[in-house]
Amino acid sequence: MATMQDVARKANVAVSTVSYALSGARPVAPETARRIRAAMEELNYQPNAMARGLASRRSHTLAMTFPSFDTAMGETVFEIVRGAQHEASRNGYNLAVWPLEDAEAGAELVNLVRQGKADGVLLVEVGVEDPRAAALKRARLPFVMVGRTADPTGLAYVDIDFERTVDDAVGELYRLGHRRIAFIGRPASQTEAGYGPAVRGRQGYLRAVGNRALAPLAYDCDANPQAGQAIARELAALEEPPTGIVVMNDMAALGMLAGLRAMGLRVPRDVSVVGAVSSPTLGAMTVPALTTTHAPGERMGAFATRALLAILDERLDPADCHQLVTCAVVQGESLGPAPERGEADVGSSSEKTSG
C-alpha cells in the first residue's frame, strides 16, 4: 500500500507539501498540485480520511495520560512531562495531562480524539499489556508510548532500556569484584499489574546475574523508606549477605542506606550500592552520596512529542518509531571494590530469590 512518503518521492516534493495539498492547510502551486495528483493516481494512493480531517481541523492539543500502577510520580516522569510540554509549545500545541479511570481509559481516549478535544495521545507509564494502547491501536488513532508493551510491533515508542541499565549496574559491581549482588525492585503490586519498568528491571537483573553465573537474590519492595529499612535488615541477617546491591526504587533506597548504616554496615567499604534508573537528586540526599544511573526524561518527552506531531502530519509511520535510551551514570560515593574475606561477614554464594 502506497504511503504519503511514496507520493512525495514520486512527485519530487516534501512530504509536508503533499499534506498541504490534501488538507488545504496551505496553498500549493498549481503545477506542484498537478504532480502530486498524478503521483497519487499512479501509485493508487488512498489518503486516510481521518488524517485529512485532523490536518485541517486540529485542536492543537495533545493529551498525556498516566495509569494508576500504585506508584507516585518520580523525577524522571516530571522530566518527561516538562520535555513534552516544551516541545509541544515550540510547535504551537498545548499539552493537557488527562486523568482517566483505568477501567475506561482506552474508550475515553478514543472519544477524546474522535470528538476533536485532542489530536493525539502520549501514553506514559506503559504496561506490558496496556489496554489504552490496544484501544487506540484498534481505533487507528495517533499515539506514542513513553514506555512499551510486551509486543510493540507497529506502535511508536520511546523507552528506557531497563534491561541494559540494570545489566550495566550489575556489570560494574562484578568488575569491582562483587559476586553476591542483590536487586531491590519495585513493589510486588506493580510487577503483578504488568508495570513495564517493574517487570523489565527484574527480568534484566535475572538475566544479568545468569549471564555471569551468579546466584540471584531479588526482592520486590514497597516504595517507602520503612520498607527499605526492612530490606536492609533482611539482607544483613542472611548467612551470606550481598556485597553489592542494585536498587531500582528511589524511596526504598533512602531507607535502605539508613538501615544498612544502623546495622553497622559501611557503604561502600562493606557493601556497595547503585541506584538504577534513579536521579542525581536522590544521590544528593543520601549519606554517602548514592551513585545513580539517570534517564534523560526531558529528551524522551520531547522525542515522543516530535514523533506524535510527525505521525499527525503523516511524515512518520509509527512502525518506524522505536527508540530505546540509555541511562547516564552520575558518580557518587557508594561504589567500591568487594571487601576481602574477613573484612565483612560474607560467604561465597547465595541461592535465595525472594519476591
Q: What fold characterizes domain 58-160+297-327?
A: Rossmann fold (3.40.50)
**Calpha distance 241→244 (Å, rounded):** 9
- Helix or strand holding residue 292 (H, E): strand 291-294
Indicate the domain borders of the chain: 4-55, 58-160+297-327, 162-294
Q: Which residue intervals of the chain are DSSP H helices? A: 4-11, 15-23, 30-43, 49-56, 75-90, 105-114, 131-138, 162-175, 188-192, 196-211, 225-236, 250-262, 280-285, 297-312
**Calpha distance 345→323 (Å, rounded):** 44
- Chain position carrying cell 493508487: 44
On the question of a common fold for 4-55 and 162-294, the answer reads no
pTM above 0.95, yes or no: no
Count CA atoms within 13 Å of residue 90 on its CB side. Answer: 11
pLDDT tens for the chain, residues 1 to 355: 678 888 889 999 988 788 777 765 567 788 888 898 888 888 888 666 445 544 556 788 999 998 765 555 577 888 999 999 999 999 999 999 987 777 788 899 999 898 889 999 999 989 999 999 999 999 999 999 999 999 999 999 999 999 999 999 999 999 999 999 999 999 999 999 899 999 999 999 999 999 999 999 999 999 999 999 999 999 999 999 999 999 999 999 999 999 999 999 999 999 999 999 988 888 888 889 999 999 999 999 999 999 999 999 989 999 999 999 999 999 999 999 999 865 544 333 333 344 4
Q: How many residues does the chain have?
A: 355
Q: What is the dihedral angle through the alpha carbons of 59, 67, 318, 308, rounded to the nearest 10 degrees?
A: 30
Share of the chain above pLDDT 70, in %: 89
Alpha carbon distance, N-terminus to C-terminus of the chain: 48
Give the architecture-level CATH label for domain 162-294.
3-Layer(aba) Sandwich (3.40)
Q: What fold characterizes domain 4-55?
A: 434 Repressor (Amino-terminal Domain) (1.10.260)
Q: Three-state SS for 272?
A: strand
Give 256-279 pLDDT, tens digit per residue. 999 999 999 999 999 999 999 988
> What's at 101, amino acid-wise?
E
* Joined grid coordinates for residue 32: 506542484
Contact by Cβ (8 Å): 59, 180: no
Give 298-354 pLDDT, tens digit per residue. 999 999 999 999 999 989 999 999 999 999 999 999 999 999 865 544 333 333 344
